[in-house]
Amino acid sequence: MINESQLIITECSKCNKIIWPRCNFCDLCLGKTNKRKIKNIGKIIEFSKKNKIIFCVGEFEKIRVIGTLDSKSNRIFLNSKIKLHVTKKSNSQYSYSFTLIKT
pLDDT tens for each residue of 27-57: 999 999 999 999 999 999 999 998 888 999 9
How far is 16 from 18, CA to CA, in rounded Å?
6
The CA distances from residue 22 to 10, 36, 101, in Å, are: 5, 10, 28
pLDDT in tens, 1-28: 445 568 889 999 999 999 988 899 999 9
Q: Would you place residue 70 in the very low, low, confident or very high pLDDT band (cuts 50, 70, 90)? A: confident
How far is 96 from 56, CA to CA, in rounded Å?
10
For the chain, the first-to-last Cα distance in angstroms comes to 28
Task: Determine the pLDDT at residue 1.
Answer: 43
3-state helix, strand, coil in the chain (%, to 5): 0, 55, 45
Task: Determine the pLDDT at residue 4.
Answer: 54
